[in-house]
Amino acid sequence: MRAASDLARLIVSCPDRHGIIATLSACLAGNGANIVTSDQHSTDPEKGAFFLRMEFHLAELEKRRSELEEQLASIAREFKMHWRLTPANEKKRVAVFVSRHEHCMLDLLWRWRRKELDIDVVAVVSNHPDLETEVARFGVPYYHHPVSSTTKAQAEQQTLDLLGGGVDVIVLARYMQILSGDFLREIDAPVINIHHSFLPAFAGADSHARAYERGVKLIGATAHYVTEDLDEGPIIEQGVSRVSHRQDVDELVRLGRDIERMVLARAVRWHIEDRILVHGSRTIVFR
């Protein structure tokens, strides 16, 4: 039997050219690794961008990792690759940001407790105190960092002091504050948001009221990486639900909650399994 600790993922992006897969798989095979899954995508075989995700077993991975990484680094120089190697059992450290709506956060915490999400939840950060008791039940520390128009920079600094360097990904589980460009640069970790509309329709606030007003027949939710351009970051996943004239705005909000929970959970799962590669304003999701 192979040990779970010997499973790793190799994530690569580079300009497409002849011989990438051959070179990488030869390197892995030469080290005795067995490729378990391999996904690749090229935006254009001629001068396009190339993306690859390989999962492989390598006996005594930990011991042999640095040697393998040296070889990969050498290949990467030749092929101008961005790359990383992630042991599959290296849990990502996740901070969840939330305001008052608990549904997305609770869903993530349940999945985590049920071992559906193989992560470390290091903190829940909120601009409100409301959910402290609920979070405490999961044994996760809760930080109340209130934000007002005058204290925003301060609050963000407080959060940076708390999390800086100690978090691999931030999940905005219905966090109703806009993170500044400074914060995003400083935290230097990907931030996943769930937006309560089928982007790019109804970007911004009040999306359900506007969807109702427009009379759409499907409502949706969108998980995306956060960039400085509000609601414009690369889309990870979207979901929809059929609605009719019978649903008023309150019911759209209620239905929306279920879509949000599901869509965000999928996005987080794919992220922590290193399945998502960003290419400009788009994502490649190997699933």
Continuous H helices in the chain: 20-30, 61-79, 103-113, 132-136, 152-163, 181-187, 207-214, 249-272
Stretch 204-243: interaction string toward a copy of itself, x if CB under 8 A: ---------xxxxxx-x-------------xxxxxxx-x-
Q: How many residues lie near a copy of itself (CB under 8 A)? A: 68
Distance CA 120, CA 108 (A): 12
The CA dihedral of 195, 200, 203, 206, to the nearest 10 degrees, is -80
Near a copy of itself by CB under 8 A: residue from 47, 63, 77, 246:
246
Q: State how beta strands 169-172 and 92-98 pair.
A: parallel
Q: Is residue 98 within 8 Å of 264, Cβ to Cβ?
A: no
Distance CA 110, CA 245 (A): 33
Near a copy of itself by CB under 8 A: residue from 118, 201, 227, 249:
201
Cα 263 to Cα 26, 179, 219, 238, 256: the distances in Å are: 37, 21, 13, 6, 10
In what helix (H) or strand (E) does residue 102 lie, and over which residues does it extend?
Answer: none
Residues with a known catalytic role: 231
Residue 281 touches a copy of itself, criterion: CB under 8 A: yes
Distance CA 267, CA 194 (A): 9
Near a copy of itself by CB under 8 A: residue from 65, 91, 103, 128:
103
Binders of a copy of itself in range 176-195 (CB under 8 A): none
Q: 126 or 222: whose CB is closer to a copy of itself? A: 222
Near a copy of itself by CB under 8 A: residue from 38, 86, 89, 157:
38
Residue 127 CB, shortest distance to a copy of itself, in Å, is 20
Q: For binding to a copy of itself (CB under 8 A), which residues are involved?
A: 1-2, 17-23, 25-26, 28-30, 32, 34-42, 45-46, 57, 102-103, 106, 110, 114, 116, 137, 198-202, 213-218, 220, 234-240, 242, 244-246, 254, 258, 262, 265, 279, 281-285, 287
